[in-house]
Amino acid sequence: MDIRSLIKLTKAEMAHWLFPYTCIFCSEKTRREIDLCIDCEKELPWLSQVCIHCAAPLPSETNSVCGACLKKPLPFYKICILFSYTHAIKKLITGLKFQQRLLYANILGTLLTEKLELLYQKEHFPHLIIPVPLHEKRLRERGFNQAMELARPINKKLKIPIDYTSCSRIRSTVAQSTLPAKQRANNVKNAFTALKNPSGHHIALLDDVITTGHTLIELSRPLCDAGVKRIDVWCCARTYLDRSP
């Protein structure tokens, strides 16, 4: 690049030229504004042909709702989940949560934003994003809430406010990932409370991983009691266990 071209660059373009984004998987430089190249993105375990309410895999394209949701629907109007929780995605999420690699939150949050723009083309976005809150003990240990970090790229692009004051986690619980499905509901029962009425009647709950949905169900209860009319769920990944009680 010649000197005249350099002079015309904006500060952001100059920073990108000096410090180009590098794919976290293949280490190749990328012209994108995230550290993930197009080729590696295509290889990620994207979910397709899933239940519109819980993102469980469906056996046929003619189905839109799984058997579990037909019998016992989750209290969510719409769900958006990007990936199956397999090796590559597990690396990103565990790296974010336990190794403080906040770079991964920007990658996942940006990919989720792109998916949301497609999903909400014909309807309004929620009024608020509520990241699933951590208990104060877990927050002190980790130093940050990974769901909050995932929300930042979405807020930056879509301008949807992040609400971290309307609800709180009032019980310190065992990590859901360590428990079998039948114990997860009791583990998070009454774990959340609404501190005030959210300013919007349509909200999105944001989390990193969903399995049985019990955490999000419990968080939904006090929010519905506080006046929320519609709850959507946005999540990076889905694992699969029998969600029956």
Is residue 6 scored above 50 in pLDDT? Answer: no
Mean pLDDT in residue range 76-87: 92
18-36: per-residue pLDDT in tens?
A: 568 999 999 999 988 899 9
Residue 7, in any domain of the structure: no
Start-end of H helices in 30-135: 38-42, 67-71, 87-99, 102-119
Is residue 151 scored above 50 in pLDDT? Answer: yes
Residue 19, in any domain of the structure: no
Average pLDDT, the chain: 87
* pLDDT tier, 5 (very low <50, low <70, confident <90, very high otherwise): low
Mean pLDDT in residue range 164-190: 83
Is residue 9 scored above 50 in pLDDT? Answer: no
Structure tokens at 132: 């699933």
Mean pLDDT in residue range 59-88: 86
CB-neighbour burial class of residue 119 (10 A; exposed 0-12, middle 13-18, buried 19+): middle
Residue 77, in any domain of the structure: yes
**Domain limits at 189?**
26-238
Choose between 135 and 243: higher pLDDT: 135
Residue 234, in any domain of the structure: yes
Q: Number of folded domains in the chain? A: 1
Mean pLDDT in residue range 212-223: 91
Please state the φ and ψ torsions of residue 197, each to the nearest 5 degrees.
Answer: -75, 125
Residue 15, in any domain of the structure: no
Which of the residue ranges 1-15, 191-205, 225-239 has the most confident prediction, judged by mean pLDDT?
225-239
Residue 3, in any domain of the structure: no
Residue 9, in any domain of the structure: no
Instruction: Name residue, tokens 């839109």.
Output: 64
* pLDDT tier, 89 (very low <50, low <70, confident <90, very high otherwise): very high
Residue 78, in any domain of the structure: yes
Mean pLDDT in residue range 84-94: 94
Residue 69: give its domain's CATH number. 3.40.50
Instruction: Name residue, tokens 């986690």.
Output: 169
CB-neighbour burial class of residue 6 (10 A; exposed 0-12, middle 13-18, buried 19+): exposed
